[in-house]
Amino acid sequence: MAEYDDAYEEEFYDEMEEGITSEDCWTVISSFFDTKGLVSQQLDSFDEFVSSTMQELVEEQGQVTLDQTLPPSDDEVDPVVLRRYELKFGTVMLSRPSVTEGDGATTIMLPQEARLRNLTYASPLYLGITKRIMEGRERLIADRDEDDTVPDADEDRKARGTYLQWEQKELPADQAKEETVFIGKMPIMLKSKF
């Protein structure tokens, strides 16, 4: 065992005496840039953001709920007191870079054209959105059937002895399915996958 330890120490000291020279450092640096290039980390980061991270962010914050309080109406027997809009976000879609001309025509844009016309090389960004509308009508807790469960009501409604009964509003067929909505333009890095 002692012989092995001595041999190891001799090899270690030999390496320490040689050391890493500045030529060794420049060889490693040159080979890195020959393989990867100067902007590879930015390109990889951009590609990862567009292909995965954008969709993950949308899925993480996937829904928006808006409540609209409606003014009381004396005309209706059973008025809607609260309308709830639920927007659920789906798939993020990125189109090819394009430009819309003054006459309204949209054409595919190439990087050279963007440079010559001093335009941003950007792609339209779309998001799939599904909407649902719920209407809440105020009901007396005392009037409910024994089988019905009363959802949690806010303190004001509990004090008045009422709760909200929610009903989903039927949407026209063209609005009931997922709708693709333009949400902005995404600048595109040259030499990226996109």
- What are the Cα distances from residue 85, in Å, to 68, 73, 130, 171? 8, 20, 11, 12
Whether 34 is covered by a domain: the verdict is: no
Residue given tokens 């509308």 in the structure block = 133
Whether 20 is covered by a domain: the verdict is: no
DSSP 35-63: HH-SSHHHHHHHHHIIIIIHHHHHHHT-E
Q: Is the four-CA dihedral 37, 41, 42, 45 of positive or negative sign? A: positive
Residue 148: predicted pLDDT: 55
Whether 13 is covered by a domain: the verdict is: no
- pLDDT for 133-168, tens place per residue? 998 887 777 666 555 555 555 666 666 677 777 888
CA distance 49 to 28: 29
Whether 49 is covered by a domain: the verdict is: no
Whether 44 is covered by a domain: the verdict is: no
- pLDDT for 9-30, tens place per residue? 555 555 555 678 888 899 998 8
* Domain region containing 96: 61-187
Q: How many domains does the chain have?
A: 1
Q: What is the mean pLDDT of residues 56-65?
A: 92
Residue 118: predicted pLDDT: 95
CA distance 22 to 129: 57
Q: What percent of the chain has pLDDT over 70?
A: 80
Residue 119: predicted pLDDT: 94
Whether 194 is covered by a domain: the verdict is: no
Whether 138 is covered by a domain: the verdict is: yes
Q: What is the pTM of this model?
A: 0.65
Whether 5 is covered by a domain: the verdict is: no
Question: Does residue 6 register a pLDDT over 60?
Answer: no
- Are the CB atoms for 124 and 185 separated by under 8 Å? yes
CA distance 191 to 166: 52
Q: What single-letter amino acid sits at 38? A: L
Question: Which alpha helices (H) appear in 19-125, and where do they start and end?
Answer: 22-36, 40-48, 54-60, 111-116
Residue 98: predicted pLDDT: 93
Q: Who wins on pLDDT, 38 or 61?
A: 61
Which pair of tokens denotes residue 21? 């020279």
Residue 81: predicted pLDDT: 83
Q: Who wins on pLDDT, 117 or 79?
A: 117
CB atoms < 10 A from the CB of 89, how many? Answer: 21
Question: Does residue 131 register a pLDDT over 80?
Answer: yes
Please tell me whether residue 91 adopts helix, strand or coil conformation: strand
